[in-house]
Amino acid sequence: MGNREWNNGSGSGGWSAPAGPTGEAKVAYDERLQRVNDALALKEPDRVPCMPFYSTFPYLWAGHSIAEVMYDVEKAKDAVRKYVTHFEPDMSIGFTSVYAGQGPLLDKLDPTWLEWAGKAGGKLDKDSICQYIEFPFLDDEDYPEFNTDMGGWLMRQYMPKAFRSLQGLSGLDFRGAAGFGAPAFAMQFLNPSIMEAFKTLTEAGYLAAKYYGDVGAFSAELEQMGFPLQIKATTTTAFDSFSNNLRGTILSLQDIISRPEELKSAVEQYFPGSLYGAAAQARYSNGRFIFIPMHKGMDAFMNDNQYKEFYWETLKRLIMGLIGMGYTPWLYTEGKYNSRLECLTDIPDGQVWIHFENVDMKEAKRIVGKHACISGGIRADLLIRGTVDQVKDEVKKNLDICAPGGGYIFDFGESLEGCKPENLEAVFDTVRTYGKYQ
């Protein structure tokens, strides 16, 4: 996502931006970025921007397995280069959420919550997208400790359970490190399991630095090819982060009823990280949007009052905080969102992009489209089972609903898993021709 380069030579040091596009690539870059910026500002650009969230599609389409690109970042780069050159989206989304190139880093940390293609002894097919394994790390009795010592609990309880290679951290406790306890505290670091955990973290740090250095250089290359970067940083709402990573979906939703105050306190603990973590990423990236996938806010999980109290309150603060820092949030709603539309209007006009997986797009355009740029609405499975003509007809229907007046970016409700290449060709061709304003 980032595309700045680290200069650690004998000169001034620090982060420096690489050269941008030139010549024809710069003309194309400026046209694409202006098109997206106009849509974001609720204006009519020359045509509707087309930026499908592609996930695994480019890698398989280019002839690589997902197992290969997990461990060979050059093959991942090859696939993305071919995709942007052939289909010419209005922005590049890089490696998306596939963990491309991160196989060695994942092997080093050995997470318990993730399966990926190519993992030694793994359970997934070589072409499978990564699979998250959700289970509760935080039990009922952990709430008091978490809500009073979040950092310590994460180190002692979460990290050893979440990463098999870091189990030694369970024996490390900083609570006695201040004042007269400092000398005795230091003896903990003679524990072989603690020493091994820190050795693993150091080695993982080197792997991460190399990986993100490659990502930054490749992002700069894509810009030089004429494609603006779509994602500046990624974060999640405080509720989603707590629910996804620590408590689990079922228990966190039950907590709305059974232990609401403890849940609110835990979500509040997570809020600063959701905001300032995104800002820390964004500092070193030329991307356009702060990507916020939204997992638990769908119609089926909470009623409207619960949504406002437990979900929207911190989400709105996240949105406003990012806007206040000069960033543009990209809210990527998941599941049905018909009952949340009025909430989503309580934001500054023309400052947010909202994507819908499953919603009445006529209502989304009528209610939300006056305040925010919108996208989505068409089920991506049409690209798997449909014909070229059916795809063209459906794309035109969505353009007829959402394009008038501007404020619309074309994307599908879901990512392009398993789609037919000829159907994706039809999508881009139809948007470029039928989606013209001028």
Per DSSP, the chain holds a count of helices (H) and strands (E) of 19, 9
Question: Does the residue 85 lie in any domain?
Answer: yes
CATH of the domain at 288: 3.20.20.210
Cβ-based burial of 400 (10 A; exposed 0-12, middle 13-18, buried ≥19):
exposed
pLDDT, one tens digit for every residue, the chain (438 residues): 444 433 333 333 344 456 688 999 999 999 999 999 999 999 999 999 999 999 999 999 999 999 999 999 999 999 999 999 999 999 999 888 789 999 999 999 999 999 999 999 999 999 999 999 999 999 999 999 999 999 999 999 999 999 999 999 999 998 888 888 888 888 999 999 999 999 999 999 999 999 999 999 999 999 999 999 999 999 999 999 999 999 999 999 999 999 999 999 999 999 999 999 999 999 989 999 999 999 999 998 999 999 999 999 999 999 999 999 999 999 999 999 999 999 999 999 999 999 999 999 999 999 999 999 999 988 889 999 999 999 999 999 999 999 999 999 999 999 998 999 999 999 999 999 999 997
Question: Which residues neighbour 384 within 8 Å (Cβ) at sequence distance 6 or greater?
Answer: 418, 419, 420
How far is it, in rounded angstroms, from Cα 394 to Cα 400? 10
319 vs 63: CA distance, rounded Å: 39
What type of residue is 257?
I
Asked whether residue 36 is domain-assigned, the answer is: yes
65 with 75: CB under 8 angstroms? Answer: no
Domain range for 193 is 26-434
Look at residue 143 and tell me if it is in a domain.
yes
Using DSSP's 3-state secondary structure scheme, residue 127 falls into: coil
Sign of CA dihedral 31, 34, 40, 42: negative
Taken in order 114, 416, 124, 98, is the CA torsion positive or negative?
Answer: negative
Residue 65: inside a domain, yes or no?
Answer: yes
In a domain, 3, yes or no: no
Residue 95 lies in a domain: yes
Looking at 325-420, list the stretches that DSSP marks H as alpha helix, in order from N- to C-terminal side: 361-367, 382-385, 388-402
Query: Pairing relation of β-strands 131-132 and 114-115?
Result: antiparallel
Q: Are 295 and 331 in contact (CB under 8 A)?
A: no
The helix (H) or strand (E) run that includes residue 354 is strand 353-356
Residue 246 lies in a domain: yes
Is 168 a member of any domain? Answer: yes
Alpha carbon of residue 5 to chain centroid: 22
Spatial distance between the Cα atoms of 43 and 38, rounded to a whole number of angstroms? 5
How many independent structural domains does the chain possess?
A: 1
